[in-house]
Amino acid sequence: MASPSPVEVCVKAAVGAPEILGDCPFSQRVLLTLEEKNVPYEMKLIDVSNKPEWFLEISPEGKVPVLKCDEGKWVPDSDVITQILEEKYPSPSLATPPEFASVGSKIFSSFIKFLKSKDPNDGSEQALVDELSSLDQHLKDNGPFINGEAISAADLSLAPKLFHLETCLSHFKGWNVPENLTHVHAYMKLLFEQESFKKTKAEKQYVIAGWEPKVNA
């Protein structure tokens, strides 16, 4: 029986280094899903500051990630892509129970607001701490992963975002996740030690380079 041809997926290339995997957390989420499901894939790196014509033809909005489906159609949006992968490759299941699907879902937007904030009194730091505290309580009750013992889609969505949070807030603000959030710290360590994560993460220097223009805007 012939082995299946690799799935084609377009992801962001590193800023200033188009031959190296870049810092897009949504691209990494898709790559993590493919890794965890043991699906062979072919990665096409897209320099988002100089998008090739062929890419704009398959992704008119110019967004990554995009995945090539069976019928040759290219599909954008990591939410849609990971759902397609779950349906097409059901084993191992990465489905997160509906009641846990939104755990940690506001952390990324809270992180961005705090990262871009120039006003220490605007409440953005406390809003992020509140979201992380909520995650900490969930992990205390249900961990070590969001859905208990097994990694699931919610973890694969959150892992790259927490990596960006840790890397950027430390670099740009000298800020770290509060030490009393011990379950969050253990969770991040667990996620970042996964083989799938090590294989698909961007180097910290490229994460910083990716955020620099947004921070200084």
CA separation for the pair 34, 185 (Å, rounded): 25
Alpha-carbon distance 107 to 105, whole Å?
Answer: 6
**What is the sign of the dihedral through the CA atoms of 74, 77, 83 and 85?**
positive
Query: How far, in Å, are 101, 133, 137, 179, 208 from residue 185 at the CA level?
Result: 20, 11, 12, 8, 21
Strands (E), 31-187: 41-46, 66-68, 74-76
**Which residues does the annotation mark as catalytic?**
24
Report which residue type is found at 209: A
Question: Do residues 200 and 12 make contact, with C-beta atoms less than 8 angstroms apart?
Answer: no
